[in-house]
């Protein structure tokens, strides 16, 4: 069924840091948000909420700070810790975005950048 009705959908994505540095974190998280928006033709008005997770080896800044620096000011943001799993990707930031869109689930493009690409090799870039 090709349902073109606007509804709430969830988008995922992730990126990694080379080092735990505030400016680097803000740059990489900003890049992740920009890619999520560009790949899915989104604007701040399309957002319901953004949830960020970060691995335990990240402590330089909150990933949500990058959203605020990028101009996302009227959307609820939340940061949480990623599970510390053996073999997990170090210095990884993930995003879960709840958005209004008329795209079908198969048309959504989830950005996995830098070393986080290995998390979802099944998805197109």
Question: Among 32, 45, 54, which residue's Cα sits nearest to residue 109?
Answer: 32
- Does 39 participate in catalysis according to the annotation? no
Of 28, 91, 94, 103, which one is the catalytic site residue?
Answer: 94
82 is catalytic: yes
Task: Pick the catalytic residue from 39, 65, 79, 109.
Answer: 79
Active-site entry in 12, 39, 109, 117: 12
Residue 94 appears among annotated catalytic residues: yes
Point out the catalytic residue in the list 9, 91, 92, 112: 112
Confirm whether 22 is a catalytic residue. no
How far apart are alpha carbons 123 and 117 in whole angstroms? 9
C-beta of residue 113 within 8 angstroms of C-beta of residue 34: no
Q: Interior CA angle at 25 toward 20 and 28, to 5°?
A: 130
Active site residue 79: yes
Of 35, 82, 91, 100, catalytic: 82
Please identify which of the residues 7, 22, 68, 81 carries the catalytic annotation.
68
Residue of 39, 109, 117, 120 with catalytic role: 120
Q: Burial-class residue 43 by CB neighbours within 10 Å (0-12, 13-18, 19+).
A: exposed
Q: Supply the residues annotated as catalytic.
A: 12, 68, 79, 82, 94, 112, 120
């Amino acid at each position: 069924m090709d349902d073109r009705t606007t509804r709430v959908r969830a988008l995922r994505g992730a990126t990694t840091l080379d080092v735990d540095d505030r400016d680097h974190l803000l740059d990489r998280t900003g890049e992740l948000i920009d890619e999520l928006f560009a790949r899915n033709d989104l604007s701040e008005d399309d957002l319901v909420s953004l949830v960020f997770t970060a691995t335990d080896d990240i402590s330089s800044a909150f990933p949500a700070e990058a959203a605020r620096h990028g101009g996302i000011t009227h959307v609820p943001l939340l940061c949480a810790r990623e599970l510390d799993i053996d073999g997990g990707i170090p210095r990884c930031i993930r995003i879960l975005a709840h958005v209004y869109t008329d795209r079908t689930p198969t048309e959504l493009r989830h950005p996995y950048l830098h070393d986080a690409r290995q998390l979802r090799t099944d998805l197109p870039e």
